[in-house]
């Protein structure tokens, strides 16, 4: 794939889907900024893997749900590279609980980590990218933000908000040649889904038309496409990567 920009920030990139996205984008020649919040050793492992494969990466620490930290992280990147070309808002948390037992704190913690952080990233990248009138942002949402899920009222609200917010940013960024899209993964093979019992996985797979969980690399490929020049006429879209589970 072809990329006009030269660098990308991936939030929550020290493990899981975020790490796979970082490695994938580095393989196309982009300098990847690996954001982490607490475990530097995980971020360093991703950086080392990228560099061993011939790519370029840097590590940046920030809790992106805190406005000042996210703003400073973007400023650090721009001071270093002269620009930020692409952003992937991937960082997020879950605090699953049935709504009847969910506290306001459980709800707002997830909203802040997933939705507010994405808002900050979109807003600040729009400001910075506007100077060169070029850029692209991909927000990692979830199938749950489209269909809801028991025990995930907070998560569903946060990801549903990401989807509609992406469309609003797309409309604001279009005149500046800045694109905003989101990806909604379905059930993906990660550390979280690995904890599910085999019989639970089998039950989920019965409802997936492609009869399997997705791979993190399949999310990473979708993100790369939406950032690349090959999607230069696509903005405000929600790309479903769910094996047909929700169509």
First to last CA, the chain: 27
Helices 216-227 and 16-26 meet at what angle, rounded to 10? 50
- Cβ contacts of 37-44, under 8 Å, gap ≥ 24: 37/12, 37/61, 37/62, 37/63, 37/64, 37/91, 39/14, 39/15, 42/14, 42/15, 43/13, 43/14
Instruction: Please report the sign of the dihedral spanned by the C-alpha atoms of residue 232, residue 166, residue 220, residue 32.
Output: positive
Q: Contact, 225 vs 181, CB < 8 A?
A: no
Q: Contact, 95 vs 158, CB < 8 A?
A: no
Annotated catalytic residue, options 155, 204, 233, 246: 155
Q: Are strands 31-36 and 238-241 parallel, antiparallel or unpaired?
A: unpaired
Annotated active-site residue 155? The verdict is yes
Query: Hey, which residues are catalytic here?
Result: 155
């Amino acid at each position: 794939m072809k990329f006009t920009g030269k660098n990308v920030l991936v939030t929550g990139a020290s493990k899981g889907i975020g790490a796979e996205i970082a490695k994938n984008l580095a393989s196309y020649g982009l300098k990847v900024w690996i954001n982490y919040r607490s475990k530097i050793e995980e971020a360093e492992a991703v950086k080392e893997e990228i560099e061993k494969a011939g790519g370029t990466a840097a590590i940046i620490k920030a809790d992106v749900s805190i406005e000042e930290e996210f703003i400073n992280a973007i400023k650090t990147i721009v001071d270093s590279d002269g620009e930020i070309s692409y952003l992937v808002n991937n960082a997020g948390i879950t605090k699953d609980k049935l709504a009847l037992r969910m506290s306001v704190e459980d709800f707002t913690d997830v909203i802040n980590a997933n939705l507010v952080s994405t808002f900050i990233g979109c807003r600040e990248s729009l400001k910075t990218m506007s100077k060169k009138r070029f850029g692209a942002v991909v927000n990692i949402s979830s199938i749950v933000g489209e269909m809801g899920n028991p025990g995930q009222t907070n998560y569903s609200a946060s990801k549903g908000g990401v989807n509609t917010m992406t469309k609003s940013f797309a409309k604001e960024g279009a005149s500046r040649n800045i694109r905003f899209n989101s990806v909604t993964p379905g059930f993906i093979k990660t550390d979280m889904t690995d904890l599910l019992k085999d019989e639970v996985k089998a039950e989920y797979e019965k409802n997936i038309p492609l009869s399997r969980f997705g791979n993190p690399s399949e999310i990473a490929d979708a993100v790369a496409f939406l950032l690349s020049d090959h999607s230069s006429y696509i903005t405000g879209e929600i790309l479903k990567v769910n094996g047909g589970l929700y169509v």
